[in-house]
Structure 1
Amino acid sequence: MSAPSPVTEFTERIKPHTLSLFRIVTGLLFACHGASSLFGILGGAMGKGLTVPAGSWPGWYAAVIQFVGGLLVMLGLGTRAAALISSGSMAYAYFSVHAGESLWPLQNGGELSVLFCWAFLLLVFTGPGTWSLDHLFFRSRQPADAAAGVQREPSAA
């Protein structure tokens, strides 16, 4: 078995930090979409400085999910659950709003919905990374070996 290359060693070492940056940026961008629709900031709903009427289906609920889900993902608090709900909301947005116009996201304006859906689904499976409130609050629940960075060799069966 050959030794890993320096590039592989470096990328493996920075992977948790890169994952954290990916989570933070994705959550921030998603929260900005929600804030725009809820509060009329950053251009407002549909870039017209408007807000979505409170309680309107599905726009207001989507904006709340975007704002709250984006903040939770950005902070890394309840990351997997917030990412799962956010991913599902973007899948719903794609299939209920965009997919009826044409098959491809490039043609139907659904690229952001698809990208957010898959980015959040990735975070469901990878978790928040090291720079997260989840990591800060709940790392004491990890087994002692994992907390100490001990790696076990796979047993030969």
Structure 2
Amino acid sequence: MTARLNHAQPYAVGLFRLVVGLLFACHGAASLFGVLGGAMGTHGGTVEAGAWPAWYAAAIQLVCGVLVLFGLGTRGAAFIASGSMAYAYFDVHQQNALWPLQNGGELSAIYCWAFLLLVFTGSGAFGLDRLLAARSGGSTAEERTTRPVAA
């Protein structure tokens, strides 16, 4: 059973990356362009261009979300996204209360840890990084670390 789960690990990580990247990119698109209901707290509007930190957070969400979604530079994009969510939690949410349930920071905390996990696991299956490495005939560090573990 463990061997089968280990064999499926790159695919599970790849699907996890796809979902997390898509949802994160949707947050950025909503804030920047007013699509999908618009920015949270603006009733369908957008954040003001250049407004600190909301506009920059939305730009990071969109760009890093798309990169993670496609598995292109996953580790670097996930590192930046994780840091931005840590900043959001500690600077924006935690000043209201200690616990995420009390301060509205659950999404920031969950995204922070999800992206930190992707920093260490890489893109898993289905990522463009792996496709580009296969085309060039090389093996990237990410490809070597996402191979199934022998049981």
Q: Counterpart of 2:20?
A: 26
With normalisation by structure 2, the TM-score equals 0.88
Give 1:141 deviation, angstroms: 2.7
1:56 and 1:103 map into 2 onto residues whose CA distance is 26
1:79 and 1:91 map into 2 onto residues whose CA distance is 18
Q: Counterpart of 1:4?
A: none
Structure 1 residues 39-59: Cα deviation after superposition (integer angstroms, max 9, x where no partner): 101110115110011111111
Count, aligned residues: 142
The partner residue of 2:112 within 111, 117, 126 is: 117
Q: Counterpart of 1:37?
A: 31
Q: Spell out structure 1 runs of 4+ moving beyond 6 A.
A: none
| Structure 2 portions without partners, runs of 5+ | none
Q: Counterpart of 2:139?
A: 142
Give 1:8 deviation, angstroms: 0.8
Q: Counterpart of 1:3?
A: none
Identity %: 61
Letter of the 1:141 counterpart: G
Structure 2 SS opposite 1:141: coil
| Structure 1 portions without partners, runs of 5+ | 1-6
1:25 and 1:68 map into 2 onto residues whose CA distance is 15
1:84 and 1:138 map into 2 onto residues whose CA distance is 21
Structure 1 residues 65-95: Cα deviation after superposition (integer angstroms, max 9, x where no partner): 0001000000000100000000000000001
Structure 1 residues 10-45: Cα deviation after superposition (integer angstroms, max 9, x where no partner): 211111000000000000000000000001011101
Structure 1 residues 74-125: Cα deviation after superposition (integer angstroms, max 9, x where no partner): 0000100000000000000001110011111011100000000000000000
With normalisation by structure 1, the TM-score equals 0.85
1:28 and 1:57 map into 2 onto residues whose CA distance is 24
Note the aligned Cα RMSD (angstroms): 2.0
Q: Counterpart of 1:94?
A: 89
The structure showing larger relative contact order (alpha-carbon pairs under 8 Å, at least 6 residues apart) is: 2
Structure 2 SS opposite 1:49: coil
Larger-gyration structure (1/2) = 1
